[in-house]
Amino acid sequence: MSPKLKTLHVDLGDKSYPIYIGAGLLSDKSYLDKHIHGKQVMIVTNTTVAPLYLQSVCELLDDYQVEITILPDGEQYKTLETVNTIFDALLGAKFDRSATLIALGGGVVGDMTGFAAASYQRGVNFIQIPTTLLSQVDSSVGGKTGVNHDLGKNMIGAFHQPKAVVIDINTLDTLEQREFSAGMAEVIKYGLLGNADFLQDLEANMSDLMNRDVPLIIDAVYRSCEDKARIVAEDEFEAGNRALLNLGHTFGHGIENTLGYGTYLHGEAVSVGMLMAAKLSELEGDLTATCVERVVQLLNQANLPCEINKEITEAQLFAAMSLDKKAIDGNIRLVLLRGLGDAYLSQDYSEDNLNQVVRDFIS
Amino acid sequence: MSPKLKTLHVDLGDKSYPIYIGAGLLSDKSYLDKHIHGKQVMIVTNTTVAPLYLQSVCELLDDYQVEITILPDGEQYKTLETVNTIFDALLGAKFDRSATLIALGGGVVGDMTGFAAASYQRGVNFIQIPTTLLSQVDSSVGGKTGVNHDLGKNMIGAFHQPKAVVIDINTLDTLEQREFSAGMAEVIKYGLLGNADFLQDLEANMSDLMNRDVPLIIDAVYRSCEDKARIVAEDEFEAGNRALLNLGHTFGHGIENTLGYGTYLHGEAVSVGMLMAAKLSELEGDLTATCVERVVQLLNQANLPCEINKEITEAQLFAAMSLDKKAIDGNIRLVLLRGLGDAYLSQDYSEDNLNQVVRDFIS
């Protein structure tokens, strides 16, 4: 095994699984081999990732009956209709309940492949090979799968854990810098919401991370997944503290919903959202101006946006935010900060303060 | 509580739930009330059942925000597309994760509503009110939900347990006699596969059962659900003995697939299939001719078919049978009988005997 390999065991009882994180894992068949039990393997990927990594993955699978489904690339295709094309392929190839689905790509591919695996014959195995920084630190842990509906994001889906996640950091070589930054927003989120040590290390190393220093990236992905796994293990079905993972997301989804998907990348909207949460925390008297400034600095270093530089009104943003499914009984529940590395859930902040933050960010 | 009420507790750890079986339960709101936790309730039913029972159920729910989805009636509508209309309604009414779905109808309504509940926002509560004998003794237990695909029945779905099942035997008053018989095939199945005492009682009482004797029906539904619950509790995710529940079903699905759905009702095809399994068991030397004759008598008493009186060839039936998803590695696994009330799984019977049974039934 590579000295650069880190393995994280996600502990979920009989649904536990390993996350392998390293450089060059896609040239070693053992990581997949251990977790495929039948003979039938369906690789699901998209038109962007297929030319880059599909052949490498196929070469790891010469002992199996391999079928391939290539989906169109983009959030707009994350629909029940697209998932149905995976079912068509599975049934067309007469795949049975011993089949394994492999998701090769970013979060959209992972979410749809996971949902197809959850639903095909009421559940078959799947393995994730996330190829973007965002999906490596986000979709690797949590078992959330699903698709969008015209009336809301991620409204249809299932909790379905993978049998393994194989993260080859080398796949980031082909990731655009803007996408890399967007993924880094989620990495920063883990530091901000519950890990002050990690946050300090990110502040110390952000410039090297942005230059794609491999050991530092492996460490950051590992620690992100570790933090998420700890939170998810305590709350698998999202009844309580798992909501802390939504730091920046209620604001972020509001921004995305208002501007339409694609204007900001998800991580970029989350970046602005995290800063809005920090500013609201400052107005609530929980966070010092110095702490907020540290957040701004770190987001800047990661080339992430700190303001909404688009046409958008307060009313639009509020309307979009209360559509967010984290809303309970009409009040907007937000993740706020008591300090850097210390988040909490609140429905109990001052509405005036919230209004002021929204005004400050859209003007 | 009615002296005619029987309650069965299906024991599945933190997914346990009660099945209430009685006459007139749809005039008592307490059965539903206990199991609805939020304020939002969506009743899903179909065009046949809605005029009969929708109003009664609505009257039990005047404390809730009630929405209604009426699906077209028929197995041909058991598709992802139809389930999507339930999602449309849920999102249109802004239902959140505290919502409860109520399935009011037969197996098709239950399967689709259950799958919608499993997948909406990754899982919400649901309650079943099965209104056909088949769905009362079959879908009440097991947590199987899902839809058909052009290339196979029940290929897309989830395991999702209801919070409660409310069986009002009075709903059978509006069930056509042919549908009632088809449900009785599944009742007889439970006796045949593992409960010799129940089988003897069915033989003694079949004429009264067919005349809709209420206490006898309550007892038969209770014992059917009890037997199924015992088998399912031992094997929730269908890895082993749960397959005994498929007695008559591999033959039955073969007949249905070949003739097209609607020629035989599911229970009618299962009736023929059970007799084919009994005949094969006789040829294998496990069952006496007298026992097979008892099966024929009982099916006759229930007005169920004992032969395939349609144009169908051996090749067609075999092709359809090996498409059945219970097939493993190409061999057809069948449920056979060692005696009446004693079923077992076999891939080890004589092929000649199987061929002879198929020949005898189609000629």
Hey, what CATH class is B177-362 in? mainly alpha
The pLDDT value given to residue B3: 52
pLDDT at B86 exceeding the cut of 50: yes
Choice among A144-153, A173-182, A195-204 with the minimum mean pLDDT: A144-153
Averaging pLDDT over each range in A131-145, A246-260, B244-258, which range is the top one?
Answer: A131-145
What is the spatial distance between Cα A162 and Cα A168, in angstroms, rounded to a whole number? 16
A123 and B158 within 8 Å at the Cβ level: the answer is yes
**Residue A329: pLDDT band with limits 50, 70, 90:** low
What is the spatial distance between Cα A226 and Cα B46, in angstroms, rounded to a whole number? 47
Q: What is the pLDDT of residues A339-351, one digit of tens each?
A: 999 999 998 899 8
Contacts with B330 from chain A: Cβ below 8 Å? none
Tell me the two tokens of residue B177. Answer: 């006699």
Contacts with A156 from chain B: Cβ below 8 Å? 87, 119-121
The pLDDT value given to residue A199: 98
Tell me the two tokens of residue B133. Answer: 């004998």
Q: What is the pLDDT of residues A277-286, one digit of tens each?
A: 999 999 999 9
What is the spatial distance between Cα B58 and Cα B62, in angstroms, rounded to a whole number? 7
Contacts with B123 from chain A: Cβ below 8 Å? 158-159, 237
Tokens 């097939």 sit on residue:
B327
Q: What is the pLDDT of residues A101-115, one digit of tens each?
A: 999 999 999 999 999
**CATH number, domain B6-174, options 3.40.50.1970, 3.90.550.10, 3.90.1150.180, 3.40.50.620:** 3.40.50.1970
On whether the CB atoms of residues B147 and B87 are closer than 8 A, the answer is: no
pLDDT at A1 exceeding the cut of 50: no
Contacts with B146 from chain A: Cβ below 8 Å? 119, 122
* Closest residue in chain B to residue A116, using alpha carbons only: B156
pLDDT at B333 exceeding the cut of 60: yes
More confident residue, B328 or B77: B77
Tokens 């849920």 sit on residue:
B90
Structural element, H or E, at residue B353: helix B351-362
Interface of B with A (CB under 8 A): 80, 84, 87-88, 91-92, 96-97, 118-123, 144-146, 149-152, 155-159, 237, 325, 327-328
Q: What is the pLDDT of residues B147-204, one digit of tens each?
A: 999 988 899 999 999 999 999 999 999 999 999 999 999 999 999 999 999 999 999 9
pLDDT at B7 exceeding the cut of 60: yes
Q: Which of A125, A163, A186, A294 is catalytic?
A: A186
Residue B89 DSSP SS3? helix
pLDDT at A358 exceeding the cut of 60: yes
**Residue B362: pLDDT band with limits 50, 70, 90:** confident
Option in A84, A146, A152 nearest B91 (CB): A152
What is the spatial distance between Cα A93 and Cα A102, in angstroms, rounded to a whole number? 15
pLDDT at A326 exceeding the cut of 70: no
Q: Which of A230, A242, A326, A333 is catalytic?
A: A242
Q: Find residue B40's DSSP bridge partners.
A: B65
The pLDDT value given to residue A162: 98
Sign of CA dihedral B221, B224, B228, B231: positive
On whether the CB atoms of residues A119 and A160 are closer than 8 A, the answer is: no
* Closest residue in chain A to residue B159, using alpha carbons only: A122
Residue A128 DSSP SS3? strand
* Closest residue in chain B to residue A89, using alpha carbons only: B151
**Catalytic residue IDs of B:** 122, 144, 186, 228, 238, 242, 246, 249, 253, 266
A157 and B97 within 8 Å at the Cβ level: the answer is no
Average pLDDT, chain B: 93
**DSSP labels for A185-208?**
HHHHHHHHHH-HHHHHHHHHHHHH
Is A176 considered catalytic here? no
Q: What is the pLDDT of residues A231-250, one digit of tens each?
A: 988 876 666 788 999 999 99
So where are chain A's domains?
A: 6-174, 177-362
Tokens 């996408």 sit on residue:
A179
Distance from CA of A251 to the nearest CA of B (A): 19
**Residue A218: pLDDT band with limits 50, 70, 90:** very high
B156 and A80 within 8 Å at the Cβ level: the answer is no
Average pLDDT, chain A: 93
Q: What is the pLDDT of residues B219-237, one digit of tens each?
A: 999 999 999 999 988 876 6
What is the spatial distance between Cα A304 and Cα A270, in angstroms, rounded to a whole number? 9
pLDDT at B238 exceeding the cut of 80: no
The pLDDT value given to residue B330: 52
ipTM of the complex: 0.90
Q: Find residue B71's DSSP bridge partners.
A: B46
- Measured distance between the N- and C-terminal CA atoms of chain B, rounded to whole angstroms: 53
The pLDDT value given to residue B1: 44
Is A78 considered catalytic here? no
On whether the CB atoms of residues B331 and B337 are closer than 8 A, the answer is: no
Distance from CA of B289 to the nearest CA of A (A): 37
The pLDDT value given to residue B248: 96
Strands (E) in A72-195, as ranges, are: 100-105, 125-130, 144-149, 152-159, 164-168
A119, A135, A106: which is closest to A47 by C-alpha? Answer: A106
